[in-house]
Amino acid sequence: MSEHQRPKKKADKRPSDIDCWVLKQFGGVDARASIIQHAEELVRSAGTRNAPVKLSEIANLLNVNPAPIYSEGSTQGALKIVNGQLRIVLRSKIKRPPPAGSVSFRRMRFTYSHELAHALFYDREHKPPIRIAPRGCYRDEESLCNCAAATFLMPEYLLRPLLDHVAEPSLDLLEELAQLFQVSVHVVAIQSRALFQPKLHDDRVYMLSCKSSGPARTSVEKPRCVLAFVSANLSRKGVRILNPNQGIERISSNNAPPSGGWSLSVNFDKLITARPNEVMTVDEMLTCPGGEMVHFIGQHIARGSFIWTSGRVEVARLPRKLEQGAD
């Protein structure tokens, strides 16, 4: 599973067998919250007080051989039993890690963390280790491992103090935190959104976007939303903007010509190839995939492969179901 997405379940979906096992094993009433809490406790138990987190110390706690095996395999990573030990196998054409601090290195840290999370579903005291969690829930298990992996890399107890006095997210901040924790900007966005949402101004929206082929890297490469930060006030009103990995072309601009669209979608390539930090100021009426129509006044700013969109939103129309339930 890619670091780009923490897959969502439908609200009315019954807990899967793997969810029930996690709750029985670690306690709680929500499997994701339970595994996140357990992952954070493991990082604390490893004695981690500063970023970046030393994943080898967590591996030792889980009785996983911390030294990865580099292979030219077809999958990004795997957890295997080798000579009676749990070992993490990572894909590398050069059969060694990428340069420390590089984008590839940070992505590999996520893959290592994700495979490390799979060890939670084993009896690691048994010789050799044996899987004790139920099988057959691939998507749910991958989702849980993504949650645990992001927490291993960026636990809330290390992140929260860094954001206590920061009022709003910015691309500069996300990049600084990515460097500090040695993770991708995607992971920073995912881990920081819940901490920012309660303190965002009522009408504020922020969104990180880039070109990608989706979470499984099997879809068409196109500009997609990485993550949208929407204030608690707007969220309660039903404003979503875009979900992770949705194509930005799904937002339409009501004041664009018939052949046009949202300013971000129309100008994405132009922005990416422009001078770094060049700003495009916009004022437009937008219709989002969820049906909400909003007046957006803000800006797009590009740096590297990312575009950061920020601004103020006035709700012009809510989705019909929400309008019917509104006071």
- Each residue's pLDDT tens digit, 269-291: 999 998 888 899 999 999 999 89
Q: Which residues are 285's β-sheet partners?
A: 295
Q: Do residues 239 and 151 share a domain?
A: no
Query: Which CATH number belongs to the domain containing residue 314 in this structure?
Result: 3.30.450
DSSP letter for 64, please.
B
Q: Do residues 21 and 140 share a domain?
A: yes
Q: Which residues are 86's β-sheet partners?
A: 64, 81
Q: What are phi and psi of 35, to 5 degrees?
A: -75, -30
CA–CA–CA angle 133, 134, 139 (5° rounding) = 105
Q: Do residues 218 and 320 share a domain?
A: yes
Span 4-19, pLDDT tens digits: 555 444 444 688 999 9
Residue 1 domain-assigned (yes or no): no
* C-alpha span between 145 and 89 (Å, rounded): 16
Q: Which of 199, 280, 278, 287 is CA-nearest to residue 240?
A: 287
* pLDDT per residue as tens, the chain (327 positions): 556 555 444 444 688 999 999 999 999 999 999 999 999 999 999 999 999 999 999 999 999 999 999 999 878 999 999 999 999 999 999 889 999 999 999 999 999 999 999 999 999 999 999 999 999 899 999 999 999 999 999 999 999 999 999 999 999 999 999 999 999 999 999 999 999 999 999 999 999 999 998 776 667 899 999 999 999 999 999 999 999 999 999 999 887 555 568 999 999 999 999 888 889 999 999 999 989 999 999 999 999 999 999 999 999 988 765 444 443
Residue 316 structural domain: 200-325
Q: Do residues 151 and 88 share a domain?
A: yes
Residue 180 domain-assigned (yes or no): no
* C-alpha span between 288 and 317 (Å, rounded): 10
